[in-house]
């Protein structure tokens, strides 16, 4: 059988139409993942309805398509040309069809062209035979080469080789089955490595294909600079500075007065409680120590009364001192408030309002600038990740190329 032409639509990597003519010698070249293997897949799938390993359940429809179309032009062993068309639907098997020379046929009707499925797969895809277990390989060899006498098989094959090919056989191991087993293990290991690398390449490809947004530019730098200069001018204005300082003086006095008034109230409360206890112990109504709450012995009573009286006197003196200080502070506060209000002219009020407006404007501009800087930083990180993904993808593709060539040679 000679394959003359292949056409696919929605098949594997190619969503759109792919077609090519085939000759006695046809070279198919292209970079990795370009779809070179599609030709081999298409021939086998259209003829057998399987993938390269003979799996009939494998879906070879393009991920973005609901159905696939395959057309194969070939010449059979009798020199008769045929056109074989196979259609597959992703969801409905009833829509699947096979047409041979314009007539609907079944898979059984095609067997006469390839005779044996395993033999056809081995011829089209030599790796199919190599991936089988030694026992199955031997079974296939015995079946397909049964017409050659096993006793002189090696001699017949050897005599048909060229001198160069005979020299190559010098390196063939004596234990061929074991060698084939080890080779199959290497093949599976290599295929696993390639599969893992393909997954990593696909992930890197997704990152590399992400669209990169443009960097933003803060276009209000001049406006921000002028606002800062204006704020600096108002901040150095002596009237404003003096008013701020005077306000601080007034607030400090108010806090000091409040603190001393609070202390004075607490002293008054302590004095009332202490005085009541003092009188009770002195009159004999109570004989319990106000500190440790223990019973006071008669010999210690006078000493306790004396200590309590001394403490009440200290409370009284401290309270009088606080009242004097509070009176002086309030007088001073009145004077300082007058000074503060003297700064509240119309000009000062307008300046204060203007400062508040400028500060708010600066805050908004600085936040806007910060947001742009954050956005640009994210773009820079994303750009770096894309460059790294491209380098990583290229490295992995090169690695797969090395692995495949090492395996082939």
DSSP string, 312-340: HHHHHHHHHHHHHHHHHHHHHHHHHHHHH
Nearest to 74 by CA among 96, 50, 43, 104: 43
Which tokens is 68 given? 């696939």
| Whole-number pLDDT of residue 402 | 59
For 157, list phi and psi in degrees, rounded to 5: -65, -40
| Whole-number pLDDT of residue 235 | 64
In angstroms, the CA 289 to CA 281 distance is 9
| Whole-number pLDDT of residue 7 | 95
| Whole-number pLDDT of residue 286 | 61
User: For the range 197-203, what are the long-range contacts, defined as Cβ-Cβ under 8 Å and sequence gap of 24 or more?
Assistant: 197/396, 197/399, 197/400, 197/403, 198/400, 200/392, 200/396, 201/33, 201/393, 201/396, 201/397, 201/400
Return the percent helix, strand and coil in the chain, to nearest 5: 65, 10, 25
Query: pLDDT means per 10 residues in the chain (409 residues)?
Result: 93 91 84 84 93 89 93 92 95 93 93 88 84 86 67 68 74 68 75 73 72 84 84 67 80 92 91 86 68 62 82 90 91 84 61 80 90 89 79 64 54
Q: What is the DSSP letter of 147?
A: T
| Whole-number pLDDT of residue 259 | 93
Give the CATH number of domain 1-129; options: 3.20.20.60, 3.30.70.890, 3.40.50.300, 2.40.50.100.
Answer: 3.40.50.300
In angstroms, the CA 253 to CA 194 distance is 81
Rg (CA), the chain: 50
Domain boundaries, the chain: 1-129, 221-392
| Whole-number pLDDT of residue 409 | 42
| Whole-number pLDDT of residue 102 | 93
Which tokens is 112 given? 């006469």
């Amino acid at each position: 059988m000679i394959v003359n032409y292949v056409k696919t639509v929605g098949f594997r990597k190619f969503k759109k139409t792919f077609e090519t003519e085939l000759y006695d010698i046809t070279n198919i070249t292209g970079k990795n993942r370009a779809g070179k293997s599609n030709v081999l897949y298409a021939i086998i799938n259209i003829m057998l309805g399987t993938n390269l390993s003979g799996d009939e359940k494998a879906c070879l429809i393009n991920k973005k398509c609901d159905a696939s179309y395959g057309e194969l032009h070939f010449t059979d062993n009798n020199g008769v040309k045929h056109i074989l068309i196979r259609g597959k639907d992703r969801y409905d098997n009833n829509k699947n069809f096979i047409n041979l020379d314009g007539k609907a046929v079944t898979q059984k009707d095609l067997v006469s062209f390839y005779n044996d499925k395993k033999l056809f797969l081995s011829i089209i895809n030599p790796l199919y035979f190599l991936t089988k277990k030694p026992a199955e390989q031997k079974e296939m060899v015995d079946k397909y080469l049964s017409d050659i006498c096993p006793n002189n098989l090696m001699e017949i094959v050897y005599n048909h080789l060229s001198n160069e090919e005979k020299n190559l056989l010098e390196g063939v191991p004596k234990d061929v089955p074991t060698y084939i087993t080890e080779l199959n293990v290497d093949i599976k290991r290599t295929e696993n490595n390639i599969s893992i690398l393909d997954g990593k390449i696909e992930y890197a490809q997704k990152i590399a294909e992400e669209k990169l947004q443009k960097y933003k530019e803060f276009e209000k730098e001049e406006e921000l600079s002028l606002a800062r200069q204006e704020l600096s001018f108002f901040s150095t204005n002596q009237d404003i500075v003096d008013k701020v300082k005077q306000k601080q003086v007034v607030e400090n006095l108010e806090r000091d007065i409040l603190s001393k008034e609070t202390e004075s109230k607490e002293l008054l409360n302590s004095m009332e409680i202490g005085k009541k206890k003092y009188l009770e112990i002195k009159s004999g109504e109570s004989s319990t120590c106000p500190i440790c709450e223990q019973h006071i012995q008669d010999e210690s009573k006078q000493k306790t009364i004396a200590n309590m009286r001394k403490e009440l006197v200290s409370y009284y003196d401290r309270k009088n001192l606080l009242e004097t200080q509070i009176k002086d502070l309030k007088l001073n506060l009145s004077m300082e408030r007058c000074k503060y209000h003297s700064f509240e002219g119309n000009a000062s009020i307008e300046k204060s309002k203007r400062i508040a407006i400028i500060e708010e404007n600066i805050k908004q501009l600085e936040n806007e600038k910060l947001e742009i800087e954050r956005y640009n930083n994210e773009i820079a990180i994303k750009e770096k990740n894309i460059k790294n993904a491209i380098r990583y993808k290229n490295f992995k593709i090169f690695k797969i190329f090395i692995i495949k060539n090492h395996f082939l040679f």
